[in-house]
Structures are given as C-alpha cells and as structure tokens.
Structure 1
Amino acid sequence: MMRLVLGPMEGVLDHLMRELLTDINDYDLCVTEFVRVVDQKLPEHVFHRLCPELSQGSMTKSGVPVHLQLLGQDPIWMAENANFAAELGAKGIDINFGCPAKTVNKSKGGAALLQHPEMIHQVVKACREAVPSHIPVSAKIRLGWEDPQDCFEIVDAVESAGANELTVHARTKMGGYKANEIKWEYIEKIRQKHQIPLIANGEIWGFEDGQRCMQVTGVDSLMVCRGAFNIPNLGNMVKYDHQPMAWYDVVSLMIAYSRYEIKGDKGLYYPNRIKQWLSYLRHQYTQADELFRAIRRFNTAQPIVETIQEFQQRLVVNA
C-alpha cells in the first residue's frame, strides 16, 4: 500500500494550504516549511507561526500528522531547537538538506551541506540525541551538489547518525527542477546499499508516475510537492488514479481558501500566496492565466476575493 507525503515548499505551502489539501486528499503525512535556525534557541511563537497544528496535537483538522522541518548547519543550535519543537508537541522532526535556494545555500544551509557529509552527520546525530526516542527524526536530501554518485556518502552520513527515515529528491542541486535531470534509479541503488527507510520525491505528477517511481525505486513511500499546487487533488490522483479536479471546483477551492480566518500578518501575505498558487495552476489549467491577470494588480485581499467570486459566477452562467 502506497504511503503518500505532502512535502514542504517554503513560502507557498503554509498551514492553510495544508489544511485545504489534506481535507480533499488522502495524505498520510505533511511536512512544514522550514524553521530557519542560526545561532539561538528560537521563541515559541516562531514554531507556532509555521506550524499552528502544534496546538491541535500536531495534526491537521482532518487528522493528518504534521512533522516540523528545521534548516540550519550548527549541530548545537539545531539540537536545541529540535528538542524545543518536540517539547511543543511536534510529532516528528525533519531536517532540510535539499533546499536549492541561493539565499539559503549562500549561508551554508539546505543543499549547500550536501558538499559536507560530515556536517550533515553531526547535525542529524545531535538532533537525534536531543529528541525523545519515540519522536522520529528524518532528513531530506538531494542526490548531491553536482555529482549524483555523492548520494551514497550523504546517505551513509544520515543513516549512521541515527535518522529514522530519509526523503530523497532524485536530482542534484545543480539539476534544479529540470524534468530530464530526474534520476529515480539512484534511489533504488541507495535502497540496495542502505537500511534506512526511504521516501522517493521528484517528478510525480499523477498515478502512472507514482507507479513507475515505485517500480524503479522499489520504494512504496512517495512525496509530492510542486504538483500538489498544479493540481489540487494530485494526492488522490497518485494514490487512487482519480481524474484531475475540474476547473470550476478549483475556483471553488480558491474561494474556500480565501474564506479561511485571516488575522494579523496573514492578511498581508494572502495576496502573494494566492498569486503564487495561480502561477502553479497555470501549468495545468489554461483558464488560470485569465484569472491571474485579473488579480495581478491587487495587493490587498478584498478585491482579489471579489474578483475570484465574480469569475466563479461567470463560470456558472456559462455552464
């Protein structure tokens, strides 16, 4: 039986989107956007801002467990914050060694550490020792910075540090998100050489992709990220071979997202989040381009919501 994880996307997949997507898909697990750790123990509100689910048993309202992700390179401070997250109620701690963003890599975070397996080992080991044994500590990596052959040393660093699970995005950092750079076969090679449980990630856009990925890798746990924004019901497409959600239903979903309670700074970032979502939807739905152009000039929530509602009413009239 396939296990399907809704992966993190920094600046896009917030708790509102997790709630929305887990409500309409049968995901088994979610992972938050990363909490950036530098040189201090972060205050409680930082963890609750990125993972409000901590207040409800570290689960979405539909009952899907949520693991909290950390990103950083200092073993001591990573361990301190991992332990604090566990104290706050996190069901699992995930460590990001895969983010390819230049701003993150420039400060030796995310995928930059793929060039330093010993540092990866130290960070994972420190976090594993700091977190109670019943709470899983996992990591997410790419195959390497430039050479996919580096993956074996990187996986060994994670496994020997005591991690419970490892997500492998089957591209190098330099491979970015290019479809022709995907190398699922390396996950199968990793599985043959190592004992750590694996989650396969990268270029899973539907049922056939999921089945082929499992066949190539020998892994039955998959993670989807970008595709979940292109097609909101991708989870059920991958898991149960459902058809893509109709455009009218996608618009209704955007309205539902817009109706979520928005307070404080959430109201400020809503316009950017809905525009980002539409930019992903345009890859699957040609109609999304018209709606994106209609709301592009607005910087506050109200006119955007009104425009989406008008767009939906037109769809009803023209149906």
Structure 2
Amino acid sequence: MKINRIILAPMEGVLDYQVRQILTEINPFDYCVTEFVRVTHHKLSNRTFYRLCPELYHNGKTQSGTPVRVQILGQSPEWMAENAIKVIELGSYGIDINFGCPAKTVVGNHGGAYLLQYPKQIFDIVSQVRQAIGKSHQLSVKIRLGWDNKSYCHDIASAIEHAGANEIVIHGRTKEDGYKAEKIDWQTIGQIKQQLNIPVIANGEIFTIEDAKNCINQSQTNDIMLGRGILTIPNLANMIQAKQPALNWQQVMAILIRYATASIDDVKPLYHSARIKQWLAYLKQHYAEASELLQSIRTFKSQQEISSFLTKHT
C-alpha cells in the first residue's frame, strides 16, 4: 500500500482547532481543513474566520506545523469569491469549498450537498473563487457522489476541474446514502479519477489499516482523507502510515482530559460537554471503556463537571 498524502477532514461540530492541534501532534497529516464557514450574502468579519481558525494568527498552521485550509460553504458565486479573498489575505493555506455536507440545516438552506443537483452552479462557484484568489493559491473542493444517485458525479468532477480547482476530495456516498457503511463506493471514485488530470483524494469509511488498503486499491488514488475514523482511533493516520499500534485507553484518556480542560473562547455553555460526549460516541466503536465513560457523564453539562470527572478517573 503506497500512501502519498493523508489529510484531516473537516467535521462540523467535532473538529475544532483544539482537536486539530491534538491530532496533528500525533499524526503525520499533510494538511487539515476547518469546519465550514457559512457564507450568505455579505462579506464576513475577520473575527469570524479567526474564531473558527485561530491558526490564522500563526501563519495558517497548527502549533505542530501542519497547514490549515479554511473551508467555506455557500451558494452565491460572488460572495463565495469575496470571502475567499479575505481568507487568503488572513493567511489560510488555500481555500476548500464544501459541496458535500448532508446536514438538514445546510441542504435546507441550499448549501453543501444540495448543490450536487446543479453542476453548472458548482462550476460557477469554483470558477469565481479561482479567479478571485488567483492561480498561486491552492483550491480544493469536497463533494459526495451525488444527491440521491450518482448520475451527475462525472459531470460534477469535470466541472470542478475545468473551473480551476487544484484537487478534489470525494466522499464515496451520495447525500441520500448518509453514512451507511454498506453504501460506500470507492470504485466510483476510481472511475472519476481516470477522467481527471487533478489529484483525487478519497474519503469515507476508513476506520482501519485494512479499510485504507481497500480504499486505495478501489479508488486508485494514493491520497486519503480521514474523518470519523481518526476520532475512533486518534492515531489512525500513524497506524496507516507508520504501522504504529493503536493508542491504549490511558493515552486516549490523557487526550480527552487535555481537550476537556482546554480554554476555548466564544463558545456556548454546553460546548465542551457536547463535544466530549460526541467524541466518546466515536471512541466507543474501538474502546469498550469509552462506552462506560459516556454513560457516566451523560447528564453532565458544564466543562467543570466533565473535566473534574475525567481527571479523577484516570
């Protein structure tokens, strides 16, 4: 198995900058992508981008030196372009555009995966963003294989390439497939790759070294993006790239404590408790201890409750 690049996915509601920092310290990621910034019909403030991506204060990199790419999501070519310019000026490692998010609130507002029904609009957005940021900056685009079927997937990928993207990330399911394991289709990613001249990054359902091998073989690419799998086993990229063993539970607990006690500005009261519980929901797929811990803290709401309990039970 030859791996060229491993990229950390942009998981909305999970992968904030503290998690990015922790995971990039223990994994050899080539770059990571932020949670999406929702673009409507105005230019967003600097504060909005700095809040989501504090790495912009540090030349667009995590403290461990991994480049960070800001992801934007929206349906207006003009305003996506305007905000892309601002992101580049603030120091982002390129721009990533989200056409893959299947969340109801996103598609209900005609963003993310909703646009997979309209290849021409995707072309217009990517094209205007490319023109706005110039040729010297990286532009990646994340998609799924379609809305409710895969009939447009080749047209969409071709439109993205011709609009000037440097690379494309393909999640191997449609919006309607959601995250159903049996629906993953890495082979179609491989078929799309054959028609393109830009790099293709395969994404979806990579939870083990064996999954990574199968994905690479079927998608015919050497670039992969890890999302839910890296939250299930926090050093999964190192396992794939360097054949390291999975972290033990004590090491995982140290990570959870570090995150639970971190100071994060401008967040809602339930921020830490919600995200710790969500992370444990992923961890319990590999670590039996996570299930018991999640049950123990399920009623906790404050950061203090969560961090105190974790510290006492190491």
Q: How far apart are residue 268 of structure 1 and its match?
A: 4.7
Bigger drift between 249-258 and 123-132 goes to 249-258
Partner Cα distance (1:181, 1:240) in 2:
29
Partner Cα distance (1:271, 1:147) in 2:
37
**Per-residue displacement from partner, 1:103-147 (whole Å, max 9, x unpaired)?**
100111000000000000000001000013211111000011122
- Please tell me whether the aligned partners of residues 29 and 66 of structure 2 are also in contact (alpha carbons under 8 angstroms): yes
Q: Give the number of aligned pairs.
A: 312
Q: How far apart are residue 273 of structure 1 and its match?
A: 1.1
Partner in structure 2 of residue 270 of structure 1: 272
Residue type of the partner of 2:165? A
Partner in structure 1 of residue 36 of structure 2: 34
Tell me the SS of whatever aligns to 1:31: strand
Partner in structure 2 of residue 100 of structure 1: 102
Q: How far apart are residue 266 of structure 1 and its match?
A: 6.5
Partner in structure 2 of residue 206 of structure 1: 208
Partner in structure 2 of residue 316 of structure 1: none
- Please tell me whether the aligned partners of residues 236 and 242 of structure 1 are also in contact (alpha carbons under 8 angstroms): yes
- Please tell me whether the aligned partners of residues 231 and 244 of structure 1 are also in contact (alpha carbons under 8 angstroms): yes
Tell me the SS of whatever aligns to 2:290: helix
Question: Gaps spanning 5+ residues in structure 1: where?
Answer: 313-319
Partner in structure 2 of residue 58 of structure 1: 60
1:305 partnered with 2:307: yes
1:10 partnered with 2:12: yes
Partner Cα distance (1:268, 1:172) in 2:
32
Partner in structure 2 of residue 315 of structure 1: none
**Per-residue displacement from partner, 1:65-95 (whole Å, max 9, x unpaired)?**
1000000000000000000100111111000
Which of 129, 134, 142 lines up with 1:127 in the alignment?
Answer: 129
Q: How far apart are residue 184 of structure 1 and its match?
A: 0.6
Residue type of the partner of 1:67? R
- Please tell me whether the aligned partners of residues 261 and 303 of structure 2 are also in contact (alpha carbons under 8 angstroms): no
Partner Cα distance (2:42, 2:94) in 1:
21
Partner Cα distance (1:298, 1:216) in 2:
43
Question: Gaps spanning 5+ residues in structure 2: where?
Answer: none
Q: How far apart are residue 311 of structure 1 and its match?
A: 1.6
Partner Cα distance (2:296, 2:117) in 1:
44
Q: How far apart are residue 283 of structure 1 and its match?
A: 1.4
Partner Cα distance (1:38, 1:115) in 2:
19
Partner in structure 1 of residue 166 of structure 2: 164
Partner in structure 1 of residue 179 of structure 2: 177
Partner Cα distance (2:210, 2:295) in 1:
33
Task: Call closer, same or farther: CA 1:263–1:103 in 2, change over 3 Å.
Answer: closer
Which of 71, 75, 78 lines up with 2:77 in the alignment?
Answer: 75
Bigger drift between 254-263 and 116-125 goes to 254-263
Q: How far apart are residue 240 of structure 1 and its match?
A: 2.1
Partner in structure 2 of residue 283 of structure 1: 285
- Normalising by the residue count of structure 1, what TM-score does the alignment of the two structures yield? 0.95
Q: How far apart are residue 14 of structure 1 and its match?
A: 0.2
Partner in structure 1 of residue 140 of structure 2: 138
Bigger drift between 267-276 and 228-237 goes to 267-276
**Per-residue displacement from partner, 1:8-51 (whole Å, max 9, x unpaired)?**
11111000000000011111110000000011000111101111
- Please tell me whether the aligned partners of residues 68 and 93 of structure 1 are also in contact (alpha carbons under 8 angstroms): yes
- Normalising by the residue count of structure 2, what TM-score does the alignment of the two structures yield? 0.96
Q: Percent identity between the aligned chains?
A: 48
